[in-house]
A and B are shown apart, each in its own frame.
Chain A
Amino acid sequence: MSPPLVLEVPGTLAAVDQAMEAVRIYVAAERPGARDYELCLVLREALINAVCHGGGEPTRLSLWVDGPSARVRVRDPGPGFDWRAALARLPGDRDEGGRGLWMMRQWAEDLAFNEEGNELHLCCRLASPAEEPGPGPERSAP
């Protein structure tokens, strides 16, 4: 197994974009042609949360490929948050925020916080090109 990708992500939203570029390059090298879309959706939300809760300090991201999935650990330097309450809350259609965790739950295979809420473990499936789902509207076509 290759060594994991370990990044110190500075506490800015622009740094999230740069980290996601690095993640895609790493995953493409580990699993050429694999579909990383869901991983990107989920991890982007995890990093945004970490940056927003981290008080401007860097977040540590570790990512490795384990069989058909990518595993991720995101540790921010903040005090954490009440993730149980946040996970229980469903965003309303007209809410302007509060969708990040919901999106992570929707597209991650597995998601777990530490007690404090400042460390997150994620698992996201990397589909091979053969099992890549087609675009939504076409999927029901015979």
Chain B
Amino acid sequence: MIQVEPNGVAALLRLEGNLVASVAEALRPALQGLVEEGVRTLIVDLARAEFVDSMGIGLLVAAHNTLEPAGGALVVVNVRPEVVRLLQTMRLDRHFSVRPAVPGKDAGGGE
């Protein structure tokens, strides 16, 4: 369901589908573990996420709330236009970096 590539203080979390309640529930302890292991920059790749729901958003906010006071950052990358709009509507792009998917670039095979 996810790939985590820890690399010292940074980790890449590549979702293989939507960031929704059922997934967020399972991811929460894994993310907590990464932070405890010293990860300070968390990159979440949403290329394959067509949907992000309120619990997925809650997970991103929790990660941001944990990383930022520790001098770290959450970066969400390859975000589809609909999800970019959702995160902007919730004003979350003011708190962590939201990088849209580049049109024409491989979106991870999720289309």
Contacts and interface: CB of A to CB of B under 8 A. Distances in A.
A99 B82 CA distance: 17
A17 B65 contact: no
A12 B20 CA distance: 13
A17 B81 contact: no
Nearest to B84: A136
B54 A100 contact: yes
A44 B20 contact: yes
B61 interface: yes
A106 interface: yes
B95 A41 contact: no
Interface stretch (A55-63, A68-76, A90-98, A108-116): A90-98
A96 B84 contact: no
Given A14-B22, A48-B21, A136 B61 contact: no
B92 interface: yes
B25 interface: yes
Q: Main secondary structure on chain A at its contact with chain B? A: helix
Specify which of A95, A96, A103 lies most central, judged by the most chain B CB atoms within 10 Å of its CB.
A96
B10 interface: no
Specify which of A13, A14, A48 lies most central, judged by the most chain B CB atoms within 10 Å of its CB.
A13
Interface in B39-64: 51, 53-55, 57-59, 61-62, 64
Given A94-B61, A96-B61, A45 B82 contact: no
Contact of B81 (A16, A97, A100, A135): A135
A97 B54 contact: yes
A103 B21 CA distance: 14
A37 B18 CA distance: 13
A40 B86 CA distance: 13
Contacts of A97: 54-55, 58
B105 interface: no
Contacts of B81: 135-138
Nearest to B89: A106
B76 to A, nearest CB: 15
